[in-house]
Amino acid sequence: MNLLFEKIVDDGYVTYGFTTAGYIVGVVLGVLLLLSVSFFINKDGKSSISIKQLTTSALCLALAFVLSNVKLFKAPMGGSVTLLSMFFITYIGYLYGARISLSAAFAYGLLQLIVDPYIISAPQLVCDYFLAFTALGLAGFFYNKKHGMYIGYLVGIFGRFVFSTLSGVIFFADYAPEGMSPLLYSVLYNGSYIAVEAIITIAVVAIPAVHTGLNRLKFELNEKTLKRSVTVS
């Protein structure tokens, strides 16, 4: 791990940050992720993911990333309350389903790892950044359900909560206060910032004008696809 990560000691706490080589590898992985889009191109040259879907997903991903840096509260060992950042990852799922949202959520986790890492070991890195953030993409399984925008969001952040809690139990158990079980500590620690952001997000999205606008946007973005499917049928 010395090639990609460097040890950082701060007030007795040991974490790891990226070396120059680590940042290069991260960027290369990001490029490879973008190139993987080619696997969605059929032999006849027609993309199974449209340019509109890619563009919209990229915009939502960029917005989520920007908002993730608007931190209302930052926990001492990773995790923070942001301004609706997780919602825009789950919204990709509401627009286009699980295949695209899981890919976007994985990319989002990679971005968070590169820009704001909190690393104590490689397994913890995988759990906190790849599994936890990719779980936000589970929202895509509810894109065609009634109240799918809300259900998908709650399922997505619950998935992140599960993996973050698991990480806390396995990798941060020593930080639990004396007499408190690591599981309870991890649930309270991760649940605090995720739940607060969820409450803020639901309150904002439930505003009639916002709710209507988000649903209208989904209809307009998928209108041509719907018309095409009706014509074919």
The stretch 69-88 carries a mean pLDDT of 92
Most confidently modeled of 25-29, 67-71, 114-118, 202-206? 202-206
Does residue 53 contact residue 100 with C-beta atoms inside 8 Å? yes
Q: Name the pLDDT band for 231 (thresholds 50, 70, 90).
A: very low
Query: What is the pLDDT, as a whole number, of residue 9?
Result: 60
* SS3 track for the chain: CCCCEEEEEECCEEEEEECHHHHHHHHHHHHHHHHHHHHHECCCCCECCCHHHHHHHHHHHHHHHHHHCCEEEECCCCCEEECCHHHHHHHHHHHHCHHHHHHHHHHHHHHHHHHCCCECCHHHHHHHHHHHHHHHHHHHHHCCCCCHHHHHHHHHHHHHHHHHHHHHHHHCHHHCCCCCCHHHHHHHHHHHHHHHHHHHHHHHHCCHHHHHHHHHHHHHHHHHHHHHHHHHC
What was the pLDDT predicted at 225?
53
Write down the pLDDT at residue 232.
Answer: 33
What band does 78 get if pLDDT is binned at 50, 70 and 90? confident
Query: In whole numbers, what is the pLDDT of the chain averaged over residues?
Result: 84
Express each pLDDT in 159-195 by its tens digit: 999 999 999 999 999 989 999 999 999 999 999 999 9
Q: What is the pLDDT of residue 44?
A: 46
- In this prediction, residue 18 has a pLDDT band, given cuts at 50, 70 and 90, of low
Domains of the chain: 49-117+124-232 (1.10.1760.20)
Percentage of residues in the chain with pLDDT exceeding 70? 75
32-65 pLDDT, tens digit per residue, is 665 565 455 444 445 567 888 889 999 999 999 9
Please compute the mean of the pLDDT values over residues 64-68 and round it to a whole number: 94
Residue 140 has pLDDT above 90, yes or no: yes
pLDDT at 81: 96
Per-residue pLDDT, 87: 98
CA separation for the pair 84, 99 (Å, rounded): 22
Of residues 51 and 97, the one with the higher pLDDT is 97
- Of 73-77, 96-100, 131-135, 140-144, the range with the lowest mean pLDDT is 73-77
